[in-house]
Structure 1
């Protein structure tokens, strides 16, 4: 007797998570080891790291080709909040932080998965920021959760992400891009925080 098995493939978000898990763990450990909320000086280094990352991906948030795929994408950018954080603290953002290149859709999805996912972890970081006198209204605006809640905001993003149809080659490129994005984040952590 033959029994057909219908094994459903994991969602794109789950595939991106699996493809980037090892380097994601490295990033988490490196950030926490740097103790970015131990002092205002340490936080300033963390802010430079965040600015470099968000400046790098800003063109993706403004890419007109991605807006229909991820409908609230432009509103998700945190670069303006980061610039306000610098202003709150009387600091100047790094002048050598560059915008990244435009990317093919599948690679952009991998990078955006990483950056949007960081907002979930920011809940913990926002609590740590309070300990050094910062808040969603002063100095740590970019760590603030969305008004509808971090979880719902993330689920809306992953639902849109999971609805994108990709060929096997594009899917592989998206997974590689997520791992590349985390590797880039790790480089920035080491440059700015260590």
Structure 2
């Protein structure tokens, strides 16, 4: 486990997650941009397939009863259907929904959700990039569009729920490991889908 996180046990969960995953977050960020997903519709199609796989494997988490008790309103947040609509907008085949990921515990699932919801905050830049290839929130880039309440407000609400959970240090560590697993999955999937 990240030494920074171990030395700062008093951090709220969201801050522990950020401290424990910064290197992984940055590596995924660099990998995505290095793949030039907004260079053309063809490159963007690879990106959509990547997004379909990632949001597909976690789609069920948004409907999970226990997770919805921990994070009220979670069931309103999935973006998998929007990714599918984006694929249709571009005339691309919609793959079957991938086999769901099975985090080791509900707390590990929180880490996966932290990655997914955090990516929506960072999607503002990506959303602007899609406009360069003629896409927007009505066509092809629906899943990158802002939450109706705005990105920042939505993220603060999500973080407040995370930080309000009464978790043990072990459970917090499980959440961090879940987030690391999510980043690993995303990296591996990107390398599989995008041409070398």
Partner of 1:4: none
TM-score scaled by length of structure 1: 0.92
Say which structure is richer in helix.
Answer: 2
Shift of 1:146: 0.7
Gaps of 5+ in 2: 1-7
Q: Is the 8 A contact 1:136 1:144 kept in 2?
A: yes
Partner of 2:55: 54
Shift of 1:193: 2.5
Q: Is the 8 A contact 1:58 1:77 kept in 2?
A: yes
Q: What is the aligned residue count? A: 188
Q: Is the 8 A contact 1:51 1:82 kept in 2?
A: yes
Shift of 1:103: 4.8
Within-5 A mapping of 1:124-135: 124-135=125-136
Q: Which has the higher contact order (CA 8 A, sep 6+)?
A: 1
Within-5 A mapping of 1:42-191: 42-95=43-96, 97-101=98-102, 103-191=104-192
Structure 1 segments of 4+ aligned residues over 3 angstroms from their partners = none
Q: Is the 8 A contact 2:56 2:97 kept in 1?
A: no
Shift of 1:99: 2.1
Instruction: Compare CA radii of gyration and give the structure with the larger one.
Output: 1
Q: Is the 8 A contact 1:123 1:145 kept in 2?
A: yes
Query: In 2, distance between residues paired with 1:106 and 1:66?
Result: 9
Shift of 1:142: 0.3
Q: Is the 8 A contact 1:85 1:141 kept in 2?
A: yes
RMSD: 1.5
